């Protein structure tokens, strides 16, 4: 039997989400945003060493004793030597995970760099269980092995209702690739989270689940994604359900985001309380009928959430490795302009962009016409007369929605925060005419660049206040160093 001291040394001091990587320069921001942790219970299965899975080699098994019925989670630090999401033929290694002989989830490992990951294992009854991991089909030719450091299984006391209703995301099989393993090379689901709000019935609540994919092969084009959403990943809510005070699903309340972003009632199959949804469009909308050729399935750890008043992109900030995967997919798919040129609308090297988040509200219109959007402008110390715009002067790329919004501003190669003279709010109607509504910006929550490895540097720009831009005064300075 392990001593209490040795077991305590194996318990994490912070929550590991789907892929929390609180390393390097992102540590401070991520730590501040991380949710409070539930310690690993004393009965969690923990292995201090490393499991190595080889192509064509045997599976490895962890034995876990659940002291109570409940949803379980497995976590480890995963890496795949020789793998890089940036290179064709080396995109990823796939790990298949089964519980007591039943295929539960797959994991796409897109890097040779060790990255903490966490996945759901579904509902486990009290007693002993076998968690089997194997090197799986769908792995790139260059992938030869996967290492899983410090694997551990746990049944957390907290978040049971959230884990209980989490959707199983079945991999996409249609589209130009027509490949049941395509999510191992494109549009991979990376991380997921949940949000809750009260329902109309007393004691009930709504749980909504969202996923971040590495990119989208269809839908909004990449330059517009950078301008309007501040990233080239795809982020979508996929499933929403009402639960009662006991955590039980209220019949008929499950809905999902279907093709064309429609909200449809879920009429598909459940595994326990987990709905099965399949990615069925090139922009990662879902269907509730699973095709027979489906091969990959993903049950993410959805215990993460986001702070009130922040963008969805903040979940990526807490998982810095997602920015690297995002950039590498753009490179591999030939979507990056070479050389980068801020004067064009094409997406350049993503390390040349300022990644910013701001908050705004729009006032009442004073006439007819198009509503105003807001873009960010940046001036550099070296040439303050030149204005670099997040919308590249494209009206529909300014941001019309209110609340927190993320965007990017493309700047000359090598620019750092120290080179920035000012950040400005720029009012721009999104269509013909101008309805005269004022727009008020109240915060810039962060502004950072990616480092040489495509990981976020520390945020060097924050501001709070109140600046209103109008038809008569369409620009105003928000921040100066």
Q: What range does the domain containing 430 cover?
A: 336-479
In this structure, how many other beta carbons lie within 10 angstroms of the beta carbon of residue 190? 26
What would the two tokens of residue 448 be? 């950072």
Beta-bridge partner residues of 362? 439
Whether 331 is covered by a domain: the verdict is no
Q: Do residue 228 and residue 354 come from a single domain?
A: no
What would the two tokens of residue 158 be? 């907290």
What would the two tokens of residue 293 be? 């050729």
Q: Do residue 312 and residue 341 come from a single domain?
A: no
- Give backbone dihedrals phi and psi of 278, rounded to 5 degrees, phi first: -110, 135
Residue where one domain finishes, among candidates 285, 302, 326? 326
Q: Do residue 211 and residue 67 come from a single domain?
A: yes
Whether 365 is covered by a domain: the verdict is yes
CB burial class (10 A; 0-12, 13-18, 19+) of residue 308? Answer: exposed
Residue 394 contacts residue 372 (beta carbons within 8 Å): no
C-alpha 79/C-alpha 90 separation (Å) is 13
CB burial class (10 A; 0-12, 13-18, 19+) of residue 28? Answer: exposed
C-alpha 135/C-alpha 139 separation (Å) is 8
Give the residue from 72, 42, 76, 44 showing the smallest Cα distance to 60: 76
Cis upstream peptide for 339 (omega within 30°): yes
CATH code: domain of residue 103 = 2.60.120.260
Please name the residue that has the structure tokens 């309805």: 435
pLDDT of residue 12: 30
Q: Do residue 81 and residue 40 come from a single domain?
A: yes
Residues contacting 364, CB < 8 A, separation 6+: 437
Phi-psi region of 162 (alpha: psi -120 to 50; beta: other; left: phi over 0): alpha
Q: What is the pTM of this model?
A: 0.90
Whether 173 is covered by a domain: the verdict is yes
Q: Do residue 16 and residue 84 come from a single domain?
A: yes
pLDDT 10s digits, 132-143: 999 999 999 999
Give the residue from 297, 302, 18 showing the smallest Cα distance to 169: 297
C-alpha 266/C-alpha 257 separation (Å) is 9
Q: Do residue 311 and residue 340 come from a single domain?
A: no
What would the two tokens of residue 277 be? 């949804």
Residue 187 contacts residue 234 (beta carbons within 8 Å): yes
Task: Tell me the DSSP string of 426-469.
Answer: EEEESSSB-----EEEEEEEEEE-B-TTS-BPPP---EEEEEEE
Q: Do residue 320 and residue 355 come from a single domain?
A: no
Residue where one domain finishes, among candidates 277, 295, 326? 326
Q: Do residue 22 and residue 132 come from a single domain?
A: yes
Q: Do residue 36 and residue 115 come from a single domain?
A: yes
pLDDT of residue 26: 34
SS3 369: strand
- Give backbone dihedrals phi and psi of 477, rounded to 5 degrees, phi first: -80, 130
Q: What is the pLDDT along the chain (481 residues), one digit of tens a residue?
A: 333 333 332 223 233 333 333 333 333 333 323 332 233 333 456 456 899 999 999 999 999 999 999 999 999 999 999 999 999 999 999 999 999 999 999 999 999 999 999 999 999 999 999 999 999 999 999 999 999 999 999 999 999 999 999 999 999 999 999 999 999 999 999 999 999 999 999 999 999 999 999 999 999 999 999 999 999 999 999 999 999 999 999 999 999 999 999 999 999 999 999 999 999 999 999 999 999 999 999 999 999 999 999 999 999 999 999 999 999 999 999 999 999 999 999 999 999 999 999 999 999 999 999 999 999 999 999 999 999 999 999 999 999 999 999 999 999 999 999 999 999 999 999 999 999 999 999 999 999 999 999 999 999 999 999 999 999 999 999 999 9
Q: Do residue 424 and residue 456 come from a single domain?
A: yes
Task: Tell me the DSSP string of 16-41.
Answer: --SS----GGGHHHHHHHPPP-PPPP
Q: Do residue 318 and residue 218 come from a single domain?
A: yes
Q: How many residues does the chain have?
A: 481
Residues contacting 317, CB < 8 A, separation 6+: 26, 29, 30, 33, 446, 456
Residue where one domain finishes, among candidates 326, 353, 387? 326
Whether 288 is covered by a domain: the verdict is yes
C-alpha 461/C-alpha 155 separation (Å) is 40
Whether 155 is covered by a domain: the verdict is yes
CATH code: domain of residue 376 = 2.60.60.20
Tally of domains in the chain: 2
Residue 450 contacts residue 351 (beta carbons within 8 Å): yes
pLDDT of residue 40: 35
pLDDT of residue 49: 83
Give the residue from 420, 422, 411, 413 showing the smallest Cα distance to 342: 411
Residues contacting 129, CB < 8 A, separation 6+: 63, 64, 65, 66, 72, 99, 100
SS3 114: coil
**In the 8-state DSSP scheme, what is residue 390?**
T
Give the residue from 409, 407, 472, 476 showing the smallest Cα distance to 440: 476
Longest dimension (CA), the chain: 76
Q: Do residue 263 and residue 403 come from a single domain?
A: no
C-alpha 17/C-alpha 305 separation (Å) is 10
What would the two tokens of residue 64 be? 């876990």
C-alpha 108/C-alpha 114 separation (Å) is 13
Per-residue exposure over 335-344, b if at least 16 CB sit within 10 Å of its own CB, e if not: ebeeebebee
């Amino acid at each position: 039997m392990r001593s209490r001291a040795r077991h305590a040394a194996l318990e994490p001091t912070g929550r590991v989400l789907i892929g929390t990587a609180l390393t390097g320069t992102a540590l401070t921001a991520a730590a501040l945003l991380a949710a409070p942790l539930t310690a690993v219970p004393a009965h969690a299965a923990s292995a201090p060493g490393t499991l190595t899975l080889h192509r064509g080699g045997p599976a490895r098994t962890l034995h876990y004793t659940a002291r109570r019925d409940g949803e379980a989670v497995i976590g480890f630090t995963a890496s795949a030597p020789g793998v890089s999401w940036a290179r064709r033929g080396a995109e990823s290694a796939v790990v298949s995970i089964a519980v007591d002989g039943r295929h539960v989830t797959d994991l796409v490992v897109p890097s040779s760099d060790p990255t903490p990951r966490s996945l759901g294992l579904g509902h486990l009854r009290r007693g002993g269980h076998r968690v089997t991991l194997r090197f799986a089909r769908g792995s790139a030719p260059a992938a030869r092995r996967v290492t899983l450091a410090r694997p551990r299984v746990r049944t957390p006391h907290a978040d049971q209702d959230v884990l209980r209703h989490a959707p199983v995301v079945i991999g996409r099989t249609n589209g130009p690739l027509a490949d049941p393993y395509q999510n191992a090379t494109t549009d991979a689901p990376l991380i997921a989270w949940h949000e809750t709000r009260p329902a109309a019935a007393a004691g009930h609540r709504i749980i909504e689940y969202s996923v971040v994919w590495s990119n989208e092969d269809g839908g909004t084009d990449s330059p517009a994604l950078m301008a309007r959403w501040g990233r080239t990943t795809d982020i979508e809510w996929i499933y929403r359900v009402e639960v009662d005070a006991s955590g039980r699903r209220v019949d008929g309340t499950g809905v999902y985001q279907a093709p064309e972003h429609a909200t449809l009632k879920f009429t598909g199959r459940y595994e326990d309380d987990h709905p099965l949804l399949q990615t069925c469009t090139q922009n990662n909308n879902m269907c509730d009928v699973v095709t027979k050729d489906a091969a990959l399935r993903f049950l993410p750890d959805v215990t993460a959430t986001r702070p009130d008043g922040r963008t969805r992109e903040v979940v990526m900030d807490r998982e810095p490795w997602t920015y690297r995967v995002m950039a590498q997919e753009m490179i591999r798919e030939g979507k990056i302009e070479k050389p980068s040129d801020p004067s064009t609308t094409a997406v350049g090297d993503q390390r040349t962009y300022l990644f910013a988040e701001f908050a705004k509200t729009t006032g009442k219109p004073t006439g007819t016409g198009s509503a105003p959007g807001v873009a960010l402008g940046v001036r550099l110390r070296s040439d303050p007369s030149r204005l670099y715009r997040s919308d590249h002067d494209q009206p529909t790329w300014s941001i019309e929605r209110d609340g927190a919004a993320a965007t990017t501003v493309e700047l000359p190669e090598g620019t750092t925060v120290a080179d920035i003279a000012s950040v400005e709010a720029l009012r721009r109607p999104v269509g013909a005419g101008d309805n005269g509504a004022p727009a008020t910006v109240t915060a810039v929550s962060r502004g950072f660049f990616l480092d040489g490895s495509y990981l976020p540097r520390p945020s060097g720009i924050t501001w709070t206040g109140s600046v209103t831009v109008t038809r008569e005064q369409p620009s105003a300075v928000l921040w100066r160093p």
